[in-house]
Amino acid sequence: MYQFSGKLKTFSLALIALGLIGIVISFASAPSTIDEAKEIIAHQSSHGDSHGSSHDVKEEAHSEASVDNHSVEKAHSADHKNDAYAEESAHGSNHDDAHAEHVLHQLQNKPWSALYVSLFFFLGISLLVLAFYAAQRVAQSGWSIVLFRVMEAITANLVPTSIIMVVVVIAAAMHMNHLFPWMAEGVFDPTSPNYDPIVDGKSWWMNVPGWTIRSIVYLAIWNAYRWFIRRNSIKEDTANDGYKTFKLNYNVSVGFIFLFMLTESMMSWDWIMGLDPHWFSTLFGWYVLASLLVSALTVIAFVTIYLRSKGALPAVNDSHIHDLAKFMFGFSVFWTYLWFAQFMLIWYADIPEETTYFVARFNEYKLPFLGMVVMNFIFPILLLLNSDFKSMPWFVIIGGIVILSGHYVDIFVMVMPATVGAQWSFGIPEFSALLFFLGIFIFTVFSAFAKASPIPKGNPYLEESEHFHYYNIEHRGEGSDHH
Amino acid sequence: MESSKVIHAFYNDDEIVLDAVKSVKADGHHIEEVFCPFPVHGLDKAMGLAPTKLAITAFFYGITGLSVAIWMTNYMMIQDWPQDIGGKPSFSWAENMPAFVPIMFELTVFFAAHLMVITFYMRSRIWPFKKAENPDPRTTDDHFLMEIPVHNNVEELTALLEKTGAVEINVVDKH
């Protein structure tokens, strides 16, 4: 049995406390009035920093309404939630005030968005570990049985992140934040200056009650499966009932995979694509899936390598690490494939209503947008291509840190342009939200791992998994006992 | 030159031939060749063969293919005749790069795959109309054959091979 060390527990609680303080500070320091926002704008332009100047460029493009800058102009108006602002600025009256109000909303969104990015990142990783685990059960894979308890422990993080997600969902439904522009007042009301006919046309899907209920149903389904499979997986250890429990777990996992694919797609429409209600993409659900799946496999590799270094996983050998690294490599390429397929199809056809999404990202988020391709594709493909490197924990850790950072940036670039636009930065709000959820992750995962036997004794494939060897590792001296 | 002699030891099971290779190696004899009807896992390791470098050559062939694709798209679409085709920006290669990615990918795979296969054929000396180098047709069906060169130690080797479970042992002249 693994003992959750007091040191690690204190460390995780310190992360939670530190993150919480940072989150409180970031909420407290967000501007609440237009005057405060104006002050911040004045401060920005006096410094002439990148945000201030990029905003100026945007204003210029907007007022010119030139033909060649058509897409930039589209981006500008789409990126502004407040239609009243677009109206006003078109008339040229009250321009400064409207601009300040717009920036105010973006600044007020900052602490929410920072929290939301980290929350979605950690929730998604735990969910995809659960889905990968279900897939391993359904595939009746022989190699991964000794990692089952690691995966189960990671899915324990699904519970606290789901609870926080419910809180954020309810807060959004109660108009406590402006994350989702289609939730603003008057968007569906033809008599309102905020009326948005395009979003109104989607109101059969995008309405607050439907959205809230769906969000809670997704979370309920995922948590129900996690609760069931964790309980029954431990039951397997002592069941001794002719693999009846094992077969039941198999059947339930098949059902979960089906429900997961449905809910994962809809979740990505509701929680991420809904941030840009004017924009849509058909492969978005898979793209989010790929991003979270590669992160999930990296996290499994990290927790496995850590626990093995503590001697808690005696049955795990370099070949298991090698297989995890192969998955990390393969799904990094898969993510790139989907990312590029989405980008290239939109770039090639250049239809304004689709292109705005990438124009906003390319103009305001150039470094993270291009940097994540390097971090999520070029770096892992070069590092993890070599078969020997994949079985060295040290290399897997280096590759994994870059992959995880890259996919955090990926989620960041999915969320931030829609909520805070040009006002983005990586500071106290973003960093403290990361620390907060990392602390929760460490606490829940390692205390869950300490609660069950690290070896799933009742699994019929355990023997095979314990003797799993990838052939070329034998050349490097890790012997296999039998062929 | 006198013709050298070799011993041909036949086996009828892959587990037995694997153990035989290990004990012959342990006794300090050089194994010239092992003929099998199908791949036997761990045989290369038991014989002490060096790992293949084929994957490394494939990596460099892939980089070659990528370079060819970049050079070709840049020369044809940007340098030689930069037309405006449907509004695609042909001012520089980078601006139009996404449109070139499919061909870059395919040529990388094409070069890596085909040149690696050709390398494999050349290194393994396989080509059409090549005369088969098969000492006994049974080794393509259900027998395994170990070939060991003889240096005036026929009796000693025969005794050793009999102990390892060989079903037939022949001493043959090799030219």
Contact B98 A340 (CB under 8 A): yes
Task: Quote the tokens at residue A412.
Answer: 């960041």
Rounded-to-integer distance, Cα A182 and Cα A367, Å: 28
Rounded-to-integer distance, Cα A332 and Cα A378, Å: 9
Is residue B70 assigned to a domain?
yes
Rounded-to-integer distance, Cα A148 and Cα A240, Å: 19
Rounded-to-integer distance, Cα A241 and Cα A478, Å: 36
Task: Quote the tokens at residue B24.
Answer: 């012959």
Question: Which of B72, B70, B75, B76 shows the shortest CA–CA distance to B97?
Answer: B70
Total number of domains in chain B? 1
Q: For position A95, what pLDDT does the model report?
A: 67
Specify the pairing of strand B33-35 against strand B168-174.
Answer: unpaired
Rounded-to-integer distance, Cα A403 and Cα A422, Å: 25
Tell whether the torsion through CA atoms of A337, A341, A347 and A348 is positive or negative: positive
The residue of chain B nearest to residue A342, with distances taken between CA atoms, is: B98
Q: Which residues from A are below 8 Å from B87, CB to CB?
A: 350
Q: What is the mean pLDDT of residues B145-171?
A: 90
- The pTM (predicted TM-score) of the whole model is 0.88
Q: Which residues from B are below 8 Å from A387, CB to CB?
A: 55
With contact defined as beta carbons under 8 Å apart, do A109 and A274 qualify?
no
Rounded-to-integer distance, Cα B48 and Cα B63, Å: 31
Q: What is the mean pLDDT of residues B120-125?
A: 96
Rounded-to-integer distance, Cα B63 and Cα B59, Å: 6
Provide the residue range defining the domain that includes B74. 54-123
Which amino acid belongs to residue B11?
A: Y
Contact A385 B59 (CB under 8 A): yes
* A121, A139, B2, B19 from A441: Cα distances, Å: 11, 27, 76, 50
With contact defined as beta carbons under 8 Å apart, do A365 and A409 qualify?
no
Rounded-to-integer distance, Cα A339 and Cα A350, Å: 16
Of B41, B87, B101, nearest to A344 by CB-CB distance is: B101
Is residue A220 assigned to a domain?
yes
Is residue B25 assigned to a domain?
no
Q: How many residues does chain A have?
A: 483
Rounded-to-integer distance, Cα A302 and Cα A111, Å: 29
Is residue B128 assigned to a domain?
no
Is residue B98 assigned to a domain?
yes
Residues 6+ apart with CB under 8 A from B66: B104, B107, B108, B111
Rounded-to-integer distance, Cα A294 and Cα A56, Å: 38
Question: Which of A172, A168, A166, A184 shows the shortest CA–CA distance to A81?
Answer: A184
Q: For position A52, what pLDDT does the model report?
A: 43
Question: Which of B66, B97, B70, B92 shows the shortest CA–CA distance to B79?
Answer: B92
With contact defined as beta carbons under 8 Å apart, do A140 and A159 qualify?
no
Q: For position A474, what pLDDT does the model report?
A: 56
Distance from CA of A344 to the nearest CA of B (A): 6
Chain B residues within 8 angstroms (CB to CB) of chain A: 15, 18, 41-42, 45, 51, 55, 59, 87, 98-99, 101
Provide the residue range defining the domain that includes A159. 6-482
Q: Which residues from A are below 8 Å from B55, CB to CB?
A: 387
Q: Count CB-CB contacts under 10 A for residue A60.
A: 12
Residue ranges for chain A with pLDDT beneath 70? 45-95, 472-483
Task: Quote the tokens at residue A178.
Answer: 């402006």
Rounded-to-integer distance, Cα A24 and Cα A435, Å: 13
Rounded-to-integer distance, Cα B161 and Cα B6, Å: 13
Contact B51 A483 (CB under 8 A): no
Paired strand residues for B8: B147, B170
Rounded-to-integer distance, Cα A349 and Cα A367, Å: 24
Residues 6+ apart with CB under 8 A from A459: A145, A148, A236, A246, A465
Task: Quote the tokens at residue A286.
Answer: 């898979």
Of A340, A344, A483, nearest to B41 by CB-CB distance is: A483
Rounded-to-integer distance, Cα A284 and Cα B43, Å: 47
Paired strand residues for B148: B7
Helix axis angle, A95-138 relative to A148-155, nearest 10°?
A: 150
Helix axis angle, A50-64 relative to A352-364, nearest 10°?
A: 150
With contact defined as beta carbons under 8 Å apart, do A145 and A170 qualify?
no
More confident residue, B135 or A470: B135
Total number of domains in chain A? 1
Rounded-to-integer distance, Cα A421 and Cα A452, Å: 46
Specify the pairing of strand B4-11 against strand B33-35.
Answer: unpaired
User: Which residue is listed with tokens 């005696």?
Assistant: A314
Q: For position A89, what pLDDT does the model report?
A: 44
Is residue A1 assigned to a domain?
no
Helix (H) or strand (E) holding B9, with range, is strand B4-11
Rounded-to-integer distance, Cα B136 and Cα B41, Å: 22
Q: What is the mean pLDDT of residues B31-36?
A: 93
With contact defined as beta carbons under 8 Å apart, do A379 and A402 qualify?
yes
Rounded-to-integer distance, Cα A21 and Cα A29, Å: 12
Of B15, B51, B87, nearest to A472 by CB-CB distance is: B51
Residues 6+ apart with CB under 8 A from A112: A168, A177, A178, A179, A419
Q: How many CB pairs under 8 A join A and B?
A: 23
DSSP symbol at B91: S
Q: For position A472, what pLDDT does the model report?
A: 64
| CA atoms in the 13 A half-sphere facing the CB of A474 | 21
With contact defined as beta carbons under 8 Å apart, do A1 and A450 qualify?
yes
Q: Is pLDDT at B110 greater than 60 in this prediction?
A: yes
Rounded-to-integer distance, Cα A285 and Cα A287, Å: 5
Of B15, B55, B101, nearest to A340 by CB-CB distance is: B101
With contact defined as beta carbons under 8 Å apart, do B35 and B144 qualify?
yes
Distance from CA of A301 to the nearest CA of B (A): 25
Distance from CA of A291 to the nearest CA of B (A): 21
Average pLDDT of chain B, as a whole number? 92
Is residue B23 assigned to a domain?
no
Contact B87 A350 (CB under 8 A): yes
Give the neighbor-by-neighbor strand order of the sheet with B168-174.
B33-35, B144-149, B4-11, B168-174
Q: Which residues from B are below 8 Å from A483, CB to CB?
A: 15, 18, 41-42
Is residue B89 assigned to a domain?
yes
Q: Which residues from A are below 8 Å from B60, CB to CB?
A: none
CA dihedral angle for residue A241, residue A243, residue A249, residue A250, rounded to 10 degrees: -160
Rounded-to-integer distance, Cα B49 and Cα B56, Å: 17
Question: Which of A290, A299, A253 shows the shortest CA–CA distance to A140?
Answer: A253
- Give Cα A324 distance to the centre of its chain: 20
Of B41, B45, B99, nearest to A475 by CB-CB distance is: B45
Q: Note the pLDDT tens digit of each residue in B153-163.
A: 888 889 999 99
Rounded-to-integer distance, Cα A241 and Cα A336, Å: 45
Distance from CA of B125 to the nearest CA of A (A): 24
* A232, A275, B87 from A27: Cα distances, Å: 42, 20, 46
Contact A343 B45 (CB under 8 A): no
Chain A residues within 8 angstroms (CB to CB) of chain B: 340, 343-344, 347-348, 350, 385, 387, 471-472, 474-475, 483
Q: What is the mean pLDDT of residues B41-56?
A: 91
Distance from CA of A382 to the nearest CA of B (A): 10
Q: For position A402, what pLDDT does the model report?
A: 96
What ipTM describes this predicted complex?
0.90
Is residue B83 assigned to a domain?
yes
| A268-301 exposure pattern, b = at least 16 Cβ within 10 A, e = fewer | bbbbbbbbbbbbebeebbbbbbbbbbbbbbbbbb
